[in-house]
Amino acid sequence: MAWPSHLPPPDPQLVRTLTEQQEKLRQQVVLQKPTFDLKLLAGCDSSFMGEHILSVFVVLKYPELELVEKVWHYGPVEMPYIPGFLAFREAPNLVQAYQKLEHTPDLIMVDGHGIAHPRRLGIASQLGVLLNKPTMGVAKKVLTGKHEEPAPVKGSITPLLHRQEHIGNVIRTKDKVKPVFVSPGHLMDLETATRIALGTAVKHKLPEPTRLADHYAEVFKKEV
């Protein structure tokens, strides 16, 4: 992953420390067919505002996709930007936003990657381990791996591969729009994550949980 030319190089000791932490967290990731009875589905998203971050959680009834709760938390960003370690900038604020929820979701859909990450620990996986909750990632752009373009009709799927490992699926959630990249985060498997992502992409490219989290991030920015 190339270092952006406009940024100063990161502190080597910090990179080593984060790499060690990332490896410890990665070893705790469990990929499995979920055991929950899915009734409440959360979506979350974060938006950076200078040196601060706004994190939003929404909770929807499943399968009705009726909004039952929305919360947000705004705070300072403690960690500099380092490619491959973005989750360390996002996760602390997301955890604080999650703690404000009155409804406990069975599954969290994260705007970002799960194991579809160079070291198999994207924000969805990291957040899942930190909260000990089932998570899945739905991202708008690929971070790592190679794939064929899925057919242009909704429901078309191709595998996302990295180092001969199937780390995610590339899913067309709407006819003739760019696909999304779905991967399991924690306590989740790819088959279930793919089914839920497709089933909750009702009218838009993004599934409703992350679409609404992104929507309310823009709304809540006006309250900060």
Q: Which residues are annotated as a binding site for Mg(2+)?
A: 45, 111
**Edge-to-edge order in the sheet of strand 67-76:** 67-76, 52-61, 40-49, 107-111, 135-139, 180-186, 165-171, 157-162
The C-alpha angle with vertex 127 and arms to 126 and 128, in degrees rounded to 5, equals 90
Binding residues: 45, 111
- Position 164, amino acid: Q
Q: Other C-beta atoms within 10 Å of 208: how many?
A: 23
Q: Could you report how far apart the first and last alpha carbons of the chain are, in Å?
A: 34
12-26 and 123-131 are packed helices; what angle lies between their axes, rounded to 10 degrees? 60
